């Protein structure tokens, strides 16, 4: 009955709120290690992933094979102690770089992911009024909708970041999507103090953005610190490298000599070129990106 | 005017070193120049991406509009069309010694939820005021919300000084007004700065046009901001997010909100108060972790014993645990269209805990934009207030002043966050009000009933010693009222003790509860147009006062003041005899434990009045106090 005795003793005592830590037995003098910037980002992302897992029934993580979603998978393994407890969904346009497919096939196995590859519909089924690159990206949105319907996910974890693009800066961490996958930027719920709106209406789903608060430089610094594998296309070859990876036909390299992560970080520190400069779809018309996001693009 | 800061001074620190990162929010009334200031700050600190300024200038030219600095932030199509910032946008730049994450928040009242979303993430705030317009309602509202959101570092900028000819007098006027407002809320401004965001004065440089101003520039003020620190000094608080059993380990996962923990610590799991020891601190890829883990870390621990614990519990150290309670007083802001009123059913989130709850009382309701307080029945959208909440389940929490992380809550309505606020106090002693009650209103209106019964609803409370004649009077009155077509219902204290109150004894607490239940039942009947006649000794003046509070204006107290010796002589139930013989404990009548009423509506001594006379007297009192309708008057009115 040792346990019961302890319990009743605890119930009877009124805790002193401001007792000195040193006066409490069991708390040694040793100070916990202080947290640096990457520690803070990591802790916050883990908190978000665990909240999503606790509050949604059927989650999937969108794995685009790029540097951001690779960091996200790493964070999920940290959050859940080595195991990603939901499927990794790759909505496949069929037009990624061969290096990306090789990466997927290798690390899908090594990281023990529940990998679901879902193909996109043919290009004919996509809004022909969109400019060519945007239309190609919209095809991916259609593929995503098909996958959503097929599995009935109520939450999709996506690796977007506020610093990537102005419209993404307006995102919530838990972002409700309509039944058609659309984003209503005008009616976003309030979100504060790490309290998230996790009850999408029937038929709708949530996007969950665990690395929304990270920057491109954060991603690289963390990738280096944690020794997370990367696709070699990110490193300079013949004076060019990819800063952002999408479909092979609408993604272009930027001029760079950075051949390792340290050099990438030095380069980013000085650059004023936007990260998505090599992504054609961002530049076709002034509002192409926003139109895509309202329709459910990441 | 072109005042780009020396680049070397801004980006002197190579990447990888630990420059403090501060998150700031710019708030204030709509059109007072938030986005313009942000655009200007980006330019002054050399933070604009190459080509962005030129691109926007080109877009402006194409649309035939003069270039505005605010275009930088208003990147969304819809915003350019409407000319207002809809949502928060986060922008990063560097000052001499800080990495600044700048959160722009909309000033339009319509988008207060977005302002709150942005400001809640900030370490510090810049409150912007138009020098021409001065302090406006949204200025005051945002000031109030900064206080509620716990943002303590606030710099005030008085913008558009060019519009008031850089008048030092006008600046001082506004500075005095806003400083007084903020100080009243417990927020001390770190600086009040005169600027022109459009022209650049005061943003990065004190220009000749504001040479009378000797304080910091906006960039200086940002440089002085301190990042929020994890609450390492406070007692341990680990809210449980989940319990994972992916393998043979049973891992309790959560983020340390304050304090620190390590393997071997003795912990208390609240609100249940269960005790255990931390066996290991788990991690990945390296596990277990040695040494202490501090505030801000997301951790997983295993315990030395199998205990039932769940999401929402809070782990603390023995002797320093949070409170457990089902009653909370909170100061809140409200964002939902429908005002928050007493009796409302809501969901409360305290950390990872979720509980259904009832609003027991609205103690204050204020429009933080107005200069004075006006309402206190319901808290309207975008207003603030203080409320008393009763929770369906016990929760662990701390008052906000003890722990700002575990002492804050959000309110959900229909699955959507509708408000939030600070825990002012917890009261473990007060009973919780049951949740899940959906009161069903009667199909009949009170006036329909009173037209038939020819009386209004009332609670007639007969108090007096045992044997004083309460039950006799009550029965006579009941017969009389019924004979006149009324609807009287007798609630006899002893009769109800046999059933409804069968669980209660005669301790002061049980007597009080007995009276409370009688009063509740009687009040319910009175609200439905009946006359509830309560005959109960009810010796405690405090208990009767409580009954009067419950029944409110329907309450009519009659003191049946028959002398004690006559009561004992009558002894209709044989209680006095038993009490004298010592076989009846806790009996009111012998001894001095009956507290006669003061302020009662009527006093009757049945030793000098017949039952008929006494009943007549009661009827007169009821007619005089508006319970019984005056037949003659009514008839006269009909002639």
Taking a C-beta distance cutoff of 8 angstroms, is the pair B60, B68 a contact?
A: yes
Residue B85 has pLDDT above 60, yes or no: no
ipTM: 0.84
| Nearest residue to A49 via CA among B242, B280, B284, B228 | B242
Residues of chain B with CATH 2.40.30.10: 238-317, 325-426
Tell me whether residues B294 and A35 touch, CB distance under 8 A. Answer: yes
pLDDT score for B90: 60
- The 8-class DSSP code of residue B564 comes to H
Q: What percent of chain A has pLDDT over 90?
A: 48
CA distance A95 to chain B (A): 30
**Residue corresponding to tokens 């296309």:** A233
CB contact under 8 A, B282 and A81: yes
- CA–CA dist A52, B253 (Å, integer): 13
Output the pLDDT for position B460. Answer: 96
Say whether residue B85 is in contact with chain A using an 8 A CB cutoff. no
Closest CA to A293 of A146, A140, A151: A140
Q: How many CA atoms lie within 13 A of A246 on its CB side?
A: 22
Q: Is the pLDDT of residue B13 over 60?
A: no
Tell me the residue ranges of DSSP E strands in B351-483: 353-366, 378-379, 384-397, 408-413, 416-426, 458-463
What is the pLDDT averaged over residues A115-134?
A: 85
The answer on pLDDT for B49 being more than 70 is no
Residue B284 has pLDDT above 90, yes or no: yes
Which stretch, A230-244, B363-377, B494-508, has highest mean pLDDT?
A230-244
| Coil, helix or strand at residue A160 | coil
Q: Chain B residue closest to A10 (CA)? A: B273
Q: What is the pLDDT of residues B199-240, one digit of tens each?
A: 999 999 999 999 999 999 999 999 998 887 778 889 999 999
User: Does B91 lie at the interface with A, CB-CB under 8 angstroms?
Assistant: yes
Residues in chain B closer than 8 A to A258 (CB atoms): none
* Per-window interface: B 117-136 vs A, CB < 8 A: 117, 120-121
CA-CA distance, A122 to A125, in Å (whole number)? 6
Residue range B446-632 forms a domain whose CATH class is alpha beta
Interface touch B117/A53, C-beta < 8 Å? no
What share of chain B in percent tops pLDDT 70?
87
Which letter, b or e, does each residue of A54-93 get, where b requires 16 or more Cβ atoms within 10 Å of its Cβ? bbbeebbbbbbbbbbbbbbbbbbbbbbbbbbebbbbbbbb
Mean pLDDT of A159-179: 80
User: What is the CATH number that goes with domain B325-426?
Assistant: 2.40.30.10
Distance of residue B102 Cα from the nearest chain A Cα, in angstroms: 11
Put simply, whether the predicted model's pTM sits higher than 0.80 gets the answer no
Rg value, chain A, Cα: 22
Do residue B18 and residue A36 have CB atoms under 8 angstroms apart? yes
Residue B7: pLDDT band (50, 70, 90) is very low
- The span from the CA of B178 to the CA of B370, in Å, is 14
- Would you state the structure tokens that stand for residue B86, as one six-digit string? 């809809």
B232 in contact with A, Cβ within 8 Å: yes
What's residue B434's pLDDT? 46
Contacts of B123 in chain A (CB under 8 A): none
Integer Cα distance of A286 and A294 in angstroms: 14
Q: Between residues A100 and A24, which one has the greater pLDDT? A: A100
Q: Residue B241: which of A24, A51, A169 has the nearest Cβ?
A: A51
Q: Which of A13, A35, A50 sits opposite B253 (nearest CB)?
A: A50
The pLDDT score that the predictor gives to residue A131 is: 80
Across the interface, whether the CB atoms of A287 and B268 are under 8 A apart is answered no
In chain A, residues with a C-beta closer than 8 Å to the C-beta of B51 are 272
- As annotated, the residues of chain B forming the CATH 3.40.50.300 domain(s) are 7-223, 446-632
Tell me how far apart the alpha carbons of residues A240 and A258 are, in angstroms, rounded to a whole number: 9
Contact of B297 with chain A, judged by CB distance below 8 Å, is answered with yes
pLDDT digits (tens, 9 = 90+) for B400-448: 989 999 999 999 998 889 999 999 988 755 444 444 455 566 778 777 8
A14 has pLDDT over 90: no
Taking a C-beta distance cutoff of 8 angstroms, is the pair B515, B546 a contact?
yes
**Mutation choice for B interface testing from A57, A170, A289 by most B CBs within 10 A:** A170
Contacts of A17 in chain B (CB under 8 A): 235, 320, 398, 402-403
Q: Which domains does chain A have, with CATH numbers?
A: 37-215+287-294 (3.40.50.620), 230-280 (no CATH)
Residue of B nearest to A290 (CA): B76
Q: Which CATH number fits domain B238-317: 2.40.160.10, 3.90.1150.10, 2.40.30.10, 2.30.42.10?
A: 2.40.30.10
User: What's the rounded Cα separation, in Å, for the pair B27 and B30?
Assistant: 9
Q: Using an 8 Å CB-CB cutoff, list chain B residues near A274.
A: 49
Say yes or no for a CB contact (<8 Å) between B15 and A268.
yes
Query: Sign of the C-alpha dihedral, residues B393, B395, B400, B405?
Result: negative
The answer to whether residue B92 neighbours chain A at the CB level (below 8 Å) is yes
Which of B477, B486, B467 lies closest to B587 in space, CA to CA?
B467
d(CA A26, CA B141): 46
**Whether B421 contacts B350, CB under 8 Å:** no
Residues in chain A with CB shorter than 8 Å from the CB of B410 are 192-193, 195
CA distance B430 to B423: 16
User: Among partner residues B15, B87, B282, which is closest to A265 by beta-carbon distance?
Assistant: B15
Chain A contact present for B64, CB below 8 A: no
Q: What CATH number should be reported for the domain whose range is B7-223? A: 3.40.50.300
pLDDT in the model for residue B12: 32
Strand partners, B366: B384
B-chain residues within 8 Å CB-CB of A25? 266
Nearest Cα neighbor of B120 from A193, A170, A172 is A193
> Can you give the pLDDT at residue A3?
35
Question: Which distant-in-sequence residues (6+ apart) come within 8 Å of B367 by Cβ?
Answer: B141, B373, B374, B375, B380, B382, B383
Show residues of chain B in contact with A215, CB under 8 Å.
Answer: 92
CB-nearest to B246 from A85, A185, A265 is A85
Question: Is B283's CB within 8 Å of A42's CB?
Answer: no
* pLDDT of B386 higher than 50: yes
pLDDT at B54 over 90: no
pLDDT band at B89 (very low <50, low <70, confident <90, very high): low
**Does B283 contact A78 at a Cβ distance shorter than 8 Å?**
yes
Strand partners, B603: B559
Chain B residue numbers with beta carbons less than 8 Å from the beta carbon of A167 are: 75-76
Res B96: pLDDT: 86
B24 or B109, which is more confident? B24
| pLDDT > 90 fraction of chain B, expressed in percent and rounded | 46
Question: Phi-psi category of A132—alpha, beta or left, where left has phi over 0 and alpha has psi -120 to 50?
Answer: alpha
Q: pLDDT tens-digit profile of A204-250?
A: 889 999 999 898 899 999 999 999 999 999 999 999 999 988 888 88
> In Å, how far are A187, B11, B202 from B253, measured between CA atoms?
33, 39, 48
Q: What is the largest CA-CA distance in chain B?
A: 105
Please, what is the average pLDDT of chain B?
84
Per residue in B253-271, pLDDT tens? Answer: 999 999 999 999 999 999 9
Contact A166 B87 (CB under 8 A): no
Residue-wise burial string across A198-235, b where 16 or more C-beta atoms lie within 10 A, e elsewhere: bbbeeeebbbbbbbbbbbbbbbbbbbbeeebebbebbb
Count of CB atoms within 10 A of residue B53's CB?
17
Interface test with B, best of A1, A13, A26, A161 (most B CBs within 10 A): A26
Closest Cβ opposite residue B296 in set A35, A83, A167 = A35
Residues in chain B: 639
> What residues of B are labeled active site?
538
| A273–B266 C-beta distance less than 8 A | no
The partner residue sitting opposite B311, judged by closest CB among A54, A217, A268, is: A54
Chain A to chain B Cβ contacts (< 8 Å): 211
Residues of chain A in contact with residue B16, where contact means CB-CB under 8 angstroms, are 221, 265
Mutate to test the interface with B, among A23, A28, A190 (most CBs of B within 10 A): A190
Which residues of B are less than 8 Å from A80 in CB distance? 244, 246
| Closest by CA position to B328, among listed B402, B242, B236, B428 | B428
**For residue A7, what pLDDT is reported?**
33
CA distance B34 to chain A (A): 16
Give the pLDDT band (50/70/90) at residue B318: confident
Q: Do A30 and B291 touch (CB under 8 A)?
A: yes
Q: Which long-range contacts (CB under 8 A, 24 or more apart) does A26-30 make?
A: A26/B264, A26/B265, A26/B266, A26/B317, A26/B318, A27/B260, A27/B265, A27/B317, A28/B262, A28/B292, A30/B262, A30/B291, A30/B292
- Give the pLDDT of residue A269: 79
Which has more pLDDT, B591 or B511? B511
Q: Which residue of B has its CA nearest to A194?
A: B351
pLDDT score, position B133:
94
Choose the closest CB to A190 out of B311, B335, B402.
B335
Give B370 or A292, the one with higher predicted confidence: B370
By DSSP bridging, strand A59-62 and strand A88-92 are: parallel
Is residue B467 a contact partner of residue B572, using CB atoms and an 8 Å limit? yes
């Amino acid at each position: 009955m040792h346990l019961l005795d302890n319990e009743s003793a605890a119930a009877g005592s009124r805790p002193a709120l401001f007792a000195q830590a040193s006066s409490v037995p069991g708390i040694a003098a040793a100070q916990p290690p202080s947290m640096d910037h990457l520690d803070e980002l990591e802790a916050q992302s883990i908190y978000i992933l665990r909240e999503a897992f606790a509050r949604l029934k059927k989650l999937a993580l969108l794995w685009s094979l790029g540097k951001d979603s690779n960091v996200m998978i790493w964070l999920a393994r940290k959050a859940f102690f080595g195991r990603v407890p939901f499927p990794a969904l790759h909505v496949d346009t069929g037009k990624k770089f061969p290096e990306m497919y090789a990466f997927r096939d290798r690390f899908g196995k090594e990281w023990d992911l529940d990998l679901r590859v879902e193909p996109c519909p043919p290009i004919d089924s996509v809004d022909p009024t969109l400019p060519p690159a945007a239309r190609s990206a919209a095809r991916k949105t259609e593929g995503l909708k098909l996958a959503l319907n097929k599995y009935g996910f109520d939450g999709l974890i996506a690796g977007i970041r506020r610093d990537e693009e102005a419209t993404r800066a307006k995102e919530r961490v838990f972002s409700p999507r309509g039944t058609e996958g659309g984003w209503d930027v005008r009616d976003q719920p309030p979100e504060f103090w790490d309290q998230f709106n996790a009850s999408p209406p029937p038929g709708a789903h949530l996007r969950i953005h665990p690395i929304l608060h990270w920057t491109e430089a954060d991603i690289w610094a963390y990738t280096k610190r944690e020794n997370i594998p990367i696709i070699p296309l990110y490193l300079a070859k013949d004076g060019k490298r990819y800063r952002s990876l999408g479909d092979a036909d609408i993604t272009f390299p930027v001029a760079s000599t950075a051949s390792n992560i340290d050099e990438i970080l030095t380069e980013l520190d000085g650059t004023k070129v936007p990260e998505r400069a090599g992504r054609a779809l961002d530049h076709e018309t002034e509002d192409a990106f926003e139109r895509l996001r309202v329709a459910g693009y990441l | 005017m072109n005042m780009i800061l020396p680049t070397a001074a801004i980006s002197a620190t190579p990447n990888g070193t630990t420059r403090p990162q501060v998150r700031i929010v710019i708030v204030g009334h709509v059109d007072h120049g938030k986005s313009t200031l942000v655009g200007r700050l980006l330019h002054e600190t050399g933070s604009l991406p190459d080509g962005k300024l030129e691109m926007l200038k080109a877009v402006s030219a194409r649309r035939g509009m003069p270039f505005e600095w605010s275009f930088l932030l208003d990147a969304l199509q819809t915003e350019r069309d409407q000319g207002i910032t809809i949502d928060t946008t986060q922008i990063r730049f560097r000052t001499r010694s800080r990495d600044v994450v700048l959160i722009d928040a909309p000033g339009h009242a319509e988008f207060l939820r977005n302002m709150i979303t942005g400001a809640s993430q900030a370490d510090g705030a810049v409150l912007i005021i138009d020098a021409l317009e001065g302090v406006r309602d949204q200025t005051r509202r945002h000031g109030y919300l900064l206080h509620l959101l716990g943002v303590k570092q606030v710099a005030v900028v008085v913008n558009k000084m060019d519009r008031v000819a850089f008048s030092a007098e006008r600046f001082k006027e506004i500075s005095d007004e806003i400083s007084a407002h903020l100080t009243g809320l417990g927020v001390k401004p770190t600086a009040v700065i005169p600027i022109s965001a459009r022209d650049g004065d005061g943003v990065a440089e004190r220009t000749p046009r504001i040479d009378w101003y000797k304080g910091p520039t906006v960039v200086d003020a940002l440089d002085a901001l301190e990042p929020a620190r994890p609450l390492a000094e406070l007692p341990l608080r680990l809210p449980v997010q989940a319990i994972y059993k992916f393998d043979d380990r049973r891992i309790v996962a959560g983020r340390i909100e304050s304090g620190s923990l390590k393997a071997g610590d003795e912990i208390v799991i609240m609100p249940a108060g269960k005790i255990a020891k931390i066996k290991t601190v788990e991690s990945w890829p390296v596990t277990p972790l040695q040494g202490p883990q501090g505030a801000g870390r997301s951790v997983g621990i295993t315990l030395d014993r199998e205990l039932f614990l769940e999401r929402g519990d809070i782990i603390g150290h023995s002797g320093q645990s949070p409170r457990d309670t089902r009653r909370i007083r909170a100061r809140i802001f409200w964002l939902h269209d429908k005002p928050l009123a007493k009796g409302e059913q809501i969901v409360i989130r305290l950390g990872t805990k979720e509980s259904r709850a009832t609003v027991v009382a609205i103690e204050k309701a204020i429009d933080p934009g107005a200069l004075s307080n006006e309402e206190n029945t319901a808290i309207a959208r975008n207003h603030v207030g203080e409320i008393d909440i009763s929770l369906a389940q016990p929760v662990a929490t701390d008052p906000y002043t003890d722990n700002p992380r575990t002492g804050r809550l959000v309110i959900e309505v229909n699955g959507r966050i509708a408000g939030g606020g600070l825990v002012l106090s917890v009261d473990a002693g007060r009973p919780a009000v049951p949740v899940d009650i959906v009161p069903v209103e009667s199909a009949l209106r009170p006036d329909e009933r009173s037209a038939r019964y020819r009386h209004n609803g009332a609670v007639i409370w007969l108090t007096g010693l045992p044997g004083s004649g309460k039950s006799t009077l009550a029965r006579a009155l009941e017969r009389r009222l019924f004979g006149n077509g009324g609807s009287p219902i007798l609630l006899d204290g002893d009769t109800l003790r046999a059933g409804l109150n069968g669980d209660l004894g005669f301790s002061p607490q049980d007597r009080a509860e007995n009276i409370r239940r009688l009063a509740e039942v009687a009040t319910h009947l009175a609200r439905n147009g009946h006359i509830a006649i309560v005959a109960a000794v009810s010796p405690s003046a405090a208990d009767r006062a409580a009954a009067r509070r419950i029944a409110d204006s329907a309450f009519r107290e009659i003191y049946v003041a028959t002398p004690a010796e006559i009561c004992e002589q009558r002894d209709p139930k044989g209680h006095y005899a038993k009490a004298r013989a010592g076989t009846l404990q806790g009996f009111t009548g012998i001894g001095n434990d009956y507290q006669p009423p003061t302020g009662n509506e009527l006093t009757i001594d049945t030793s000098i009045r017949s039952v008929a006379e006494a009943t007549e007297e009661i009827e007169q009192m009821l007619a005089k106090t508006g319970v019984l309708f005056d037949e003659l008057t009514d008839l006269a009115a009909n002639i």
